[in-house]
Amino acid sequence: MPYSREHKSRTRQRVVAAALRLFSERGYAQVTIDEVMGLAGLTRGAFYAHFNSKEHLYAEAIDHGMRTSAIAALTSGPKGFKTLKRIVDSYLSRGHVDGKMAPCPLAFFATDVGVRDREVRHAYTTAFAALVRAISSHTSRSKAEGRALAMAVLMVGGVAVGTAVTDTLLKDDILAACRRAIMDLVAPIRTQAASRSVARLSPASRKRRLRITGLVDD
């Protein structure tokens, strides 16, 4: 009796999840197909029923990692600064760097992707572009696109470097510096948005708003 489509899908997801974990921990070259299948509780013979090659699996692991890591909430949560800050703080955390959270392949695969085949690099490029768009969706300004790109690089780069260094104090400093830099990039966007909001008020309401914020005297 052939397996159902649902069974095949669940099996495939088990393999991809196992691959994401092992590739994140040890890198592409140090992981074998047998090890991935063993972690998934399957035999090597089942591998080629789902994937053409190890690099095909690697590309699938990138997509799976993007859907299960902390940054997935950037697309599913409410829009705005609070959500962005929450995700940035979670992403640039010791829990993420130390492997206590679902790993983001953009950071954990960063040193491997450049020497992989086009399919893998295309998957990585698509995933990174999606992260930039997700960050942009929380800034609500077209001119913030450049800042969103910088924020994405700080997030990915901060975790990638954080996983590489052995000095725990330096690790914490790197993550904190990246968080501060991202908030510095967000600040002008928030100030501009607040100014536009005030500009739409009546003169009396505008004066009250500015007085509350301390920008004018009584």
Q: How far apart are CA 191 and CA 185, in angstroms?
A: 11
pTM above 0.85?
Answer: no
pLDDT digits (tens, 9 = 90+) for 6-51: 878 899 999 999 999 999 999 999 999 999 999 999 999 899 989 9
Whether the CB-CB separation of 103 and 69 falls below 8 Å is answered with yes
- Is the pLDDT higher at 149 or at 140? 149
Task: Tell me whether residue 211 is in a domain.
Answer: no
Please report the pLDDT score of residue 151 as a whole number: 95
Task: Tell me whether residue 124 is in a domain.
Answer: yes
Q: What is the DSSP letter of 102?
A: P
Q: For 147-158, what is the mean pLDDT?
A: 95
Percentage of the chain modeled with pLDDT above 70: 82
Task: Tell me whether residue 6 is in a domain.
Answer: no
Domain that holds residue 133: 56-206
pLDDT digits (tens, 9 = 90+) for 94-146: 999 999 998 999 999 998 898 899 999 999 999 999 999 999 988 866 556 78
Provide the pLDDT confidence category of residue 69 given band limits of 50, 70 and 90: confident
Task: Tell me whether residue 184 is in a domain.
Answer: yes
Q: How many C-alpha atoms does 7 have within 13 Å on its Cβ side?
A: 6
- When divided into structural domains, the chain yields a total of 1
In this structure, what CATH number is given to the domain that contains residue 80? 1.10.357.10
Task: Tell me whether residue 154 is in a domain.
Answer: yes
Task: Tell me whether residue 7 is in a domain.
Answer: no
Q: Would you say the C-alpha torsion 150, 152, 155, 159 has a positive or negative sign?
A: negative
Whether the CB-CB separation of 91 and 155 falls below 8 Å is answered with yes
Q: Comparing 54-58, 66-70, 143-147, 191-195, which segment has the lowest mean pLDDT?
A: 191-195
- Is the pLDDT higher at 41 or at 71? 41
Helices (H), the chain: 5-26, 33-39, 54-68, 73-76, 81-91, 94-97, 105-108, 110-113, 118-136, 145-164, 168-199, 203-212
3-state secondary structure of 36: helix
Task: Tell me whether residue 218 is in a domain.
Answer: no
